A = this chain, B = another copy of it.
Amino acid sequence: MDKGAIFLLEIGLILLFANIGGYISKKFDQPAVLGQIIVGLIIGPAVFNVIKATVFINHMAEIGVILLMFIAGLETDLEDLKASGQSSLIIAVGGVLFPAAFGILAVFLAKSGSTFQEQLFVGVILTATSVSITVQALRELKKLRSKQGMAILGAAIIDDVVGIILLTLVVSTVNPSEGTSIFLVILKIISFFAIALLFGFGFSRVITKYSDVMRREGRLLTSALIFCFFMAFIAEEMGVAAIIGAYITGVIFSTTPHRNRVSHEIQKIAYSLFTPIFFVNIGLKVTFEGIGDSIMLSIAVILAAIFGKIIGCLLGAKISKFNFRESLQISIGMIPRAEVALIVTSLGLKLKVIGHDIFTSIILLVLVSTIITPILLKMAYKEKKLGSDNIA
């Protein structure tokens, strides 16, 4: 036992405020996740500075988003995901091209003296959707398992992978010594999916076979957690994001007879402790330092990011034969930017390709996009009362 139990106070406070934020959010007929992010903003360095994100809190938060994506995987029907494969691909392509183009244009117009490399880098930053906020908002609306939900999940995985490849390309042009070979990156990504599928479905068979033993010994939940943590780690190491590893683990588990039980128990763990920390932590990471100096740039970047995704994904979804309302729901679901954008931004700062004003703009983008998405999603699903799309 370490001296100093301050981390217990911090977690206790985060959980308390997360619940208060979620409660108020629901009173205003908004998803709880919105209140949790705003609460993080309020208790964090941006406003009252009561709690700072420590390494421990960051790790707890990361477990939170990993469990969230694991649950999303468990709730995914593999057949549905396969069926939505082609539309997901088209939506992802639209959702990569438009934000990248708009991002390049935004920096070109709003930041005088910006280099083409800087413009290009911002284009890459804007490509990858952080699907966790959408997943949670859709779950609260009970729409995660709808056709649109599947299309969003599929497209978010694809745009993450495309984003990583684009990033590798851009970094290797900026700084050949820092950049790894593009072929190596693609090879690693392909290997990851191959490993995940082979290993995963082997594991799935073993679990199905020893089903009764595991249930009797009460080892089911622990096995799920162990497997989920390992796959998230491997995914991260192979250059794919940890959350994609967790999602795929969930999809694999969804093919075992334990799907419902594991989902139920992981949800208890996740929602009572870890995921509130993740959402509050998004708010905790926001600071408004230097915001005054780059307000026009920030607005340009935010608009590029949001309308890039809306236009690109709307077009992609329309091409994939979704109706207008459904296409709008999908494109809104693709708006959020968070972890991936922040990681790429940090890399850009480290390589000195982008300025600190870009960093500030991206922080604001994370804040704005994660706050408006739950609100817009709720609106996009609300108006039509007699929904024909209530598959979930």
Q: Are A1 and B339 in contact (CB under 8 A)?
A: yes
When A1-B242, A5-B62, A8-B66 are in contact, do A272 and B225 touch as well, CB less than 8 Å?
yes
> A4: nearest residue on chain B (CB-CB)?
B236
By secondary structure, the A interface counts as helix
When A12-B230, A233-B6, A233-B8 are in contact, do A1 and B62 touch as well, CB less than 8 Å?
yes
A288 at the interface (CB under 8 A from B): no
- Stretch in A51-59, A107-115, A145-153, A185-193 touching the partner: A51-59
A222 at the interface (CB under 8 A from B): yes
Interface size class of A (residues with CB under 8 A): 35 or more
Q: Are B272 and A222 in contact (CB under 8 A)?
A: yes
Q: Are A242 and B343 in contact (CB under 8 A)?
A: no
Q: Are B343 and A15 in contact (CB under 8 A)?
A: no
Q: A263-279: which residues lie under 8 A (CB-CB) from chain B?
A: 265, 268-269, 271-273, 276
A384 at the interface (CB under 8 A from B): no
A2 at the interface (CB under 8 A from B): yes
**Distance to closest chain B CB from A85 (angstroms):** 26
> A56: nearest residue on chain B (CB-CB)?
B59
A interface list, Cβ under 8 A from B: 1-3, 5-9, 11-12, 15-16, 19, 55-56, 58-59, 62-63, 65-66, 218-219, 221-223, 225-226, 229-230, 232-233, 236-237, 241-243, 265, 268-269, 271-273, 276, 339-340, 342-343
